[in-house]
Structure 1
Amino acid sequence: MKLQQTTMRTFSFIISLFCVCSLQAQEQVPQVYPEIYGLRIGTDLIKASRNFWDKDYKGFEISADYRYNKRWYLAAEAGYENRLKTDDQLSYTTDGMFLKIGAEKNFHQNWLDMNNLIYVGGRYGFSLHSQTLHSYRINTGDAYFDEEMQYPELKSTGLMAHWLEMIVGIKAEVVDNLYIGMNVQLKGLFYQKQPEGFENLYYPGFGQKYSGNIGVGFGYGISYMIPFKKKIIQPVKQQENEIKKR
Structure 2
Amino acid sequence: MKKLYIYIFSISVFCLLASQATAQQDSISYKQRYGLMVNTDLIKLGRTALEENYKGFEVGADFRLTEKIWLSGELGADDYLFDEGNLMVNSTGAYFKAGGIYNFHTNWIGMDNFLFGGFRAGFATFSHTLEEFTVTVRDGFFPPDIRTPGTSFNNLNATWVEFMAGVRAEVFKNLYLGLNIQLKFLTTQSDLNNFDNLFVPGYNITNDTSSFGFGFGYTIHYLFPIYSKTIKQAIDN
Q: Which residue of 2 aligns with 1:235?
A: 233
SS of the residue 1:112 aligns to: coil
SS of the residue 1:49 aligns to: helix
Q: Which residue of 2 aligns with 1:212?
A: 210
Give me the whole-angstrom Cα distance separating, in 1, the residues matched to 2:130 and 2:192.
10
Residue pair 1:160, 1:194 contacting (<8 A) in 2 also: no
Per-residue displacement from partner, 1:194-242 (whole Å, max 9, x unpaired)?
4332110111100111231221101000010011111111213x99xxx
- Equivalent residue for 1:177, pick from 174, 182, 188: 174
- Equivalent residue for 1:52, pick from 39, 45, 49: 49
Give me the whole-angstrom Cα distance separating, in 2, the residues matched to 1:144 and 1:58.
39
**TM-score (norm. length: structure 1):** 0.81
1:135 aligns with 2:140: no
Give me the whole-angstrom Cα distance separating, in 2, the residues matched to 1:213 and 1:229.
42
Pair 1:123–1:29, CA change in 2 (3 A): closer
1:63 aligns with 2:35: no
Q: Which residue of 2 aligns with 1:103?
A: 100
Give me the whole-angstrom Cα distance separating, in 2, the residues matched to 1:30 and 1:191.
51
Give me the whole-angstrom Cα distance separating, in 2, the residues matched to 1:29 and 1:56.
59
SS of the residue 1:47 aligns to: helix
* CA RMSD across the alignment: 2.1
Residue pair 1:159, 1:195 contacting (<8 A) in 2 also: no
SS of the residue 2:214 aligns to: strand
Compare 187-196 and 89-98 and name the one that shifted more: 187-196
Residue pair 1:102, 1:124 contacting (<8 A) in 2 also: yes
Pair 1:176–1:197, CA change in 2 (3 A): same
Q: Give the 5 Å matches for 1:1-246.
A: 28=25, 30-140=27-137, 142=139, 144-145=141-142, 147-210=144-207, 211-236=209-234
Give me the whole-angstrom Cα distance separating, in 2, the residues matched to 1:140 and 1:59.
36
**Bigger Rg, which one:** 1
Give me the whole-angstrom Cα distance separating, in 2, the residues matched to 1:32 and 1:62.
34
SS of the residue 1:31 aligns to: strand
Give me the whole-angstrom Cα distance separating, in 1, the residues matched to 2:141 and 2:25.
92
Give me the whole-angstrom Cα distance separating, in 2, the residues matched to 1:169 and 1:75.
14
The alignment-based identity, stated in percent, is 36
Give me the whole-angstrom Cα distance separating, in 2, the residues matched to 1:188 and 1:51.
25
Supply the AA of the counterpart residue of 2:41.
D
Compare 183-192 and 83-92 and name the one that shifted more: 83-92
Per-residue displacement from partner, 1:60-95 (whole Å, max 9, x unpaired)?
000111111111111111111101121221001000
Give me the whole-angstrom Cα distance separating, in 1, the residues matched to 2:26 and 2:136.
82
**TM-score (norm. length: structure 2):** 0.84
Consecutive unaligned residues in structure 2, runs of 5 or more: 1-20
Give me the whole-angstrom Cα distance separating, in 2, the residues matched to 1:29 and 1:108.
22
Give me the whole-angstrom Cα distance separating, in 1, the residues matched to 2:80 and 2:37.
28
Per-residue displacement from partner, 1:122-143 (whole Å, max 9, x unpaired)?
1101100010011112234556
Q: How far off its partner does 1:147 sit?
A: 4.8
Q: How far off its partner does 1:146 sit?
A: 5.2
The number of aligned residues is: 214
Q: Which has the higher strand share?
A: 2
Give me the whole-angstrom Cα distance separating, in 2, the residues matched to 1:68 and 1:178.
19
Q: Which has the higher helix share?
A: 1
Per-residue displacement from partner, 1:7-60 (whole Å, max 9, x unpaired)?
xxxxxxxxxxxxxxxxx99x9495321111111001000001211111211110
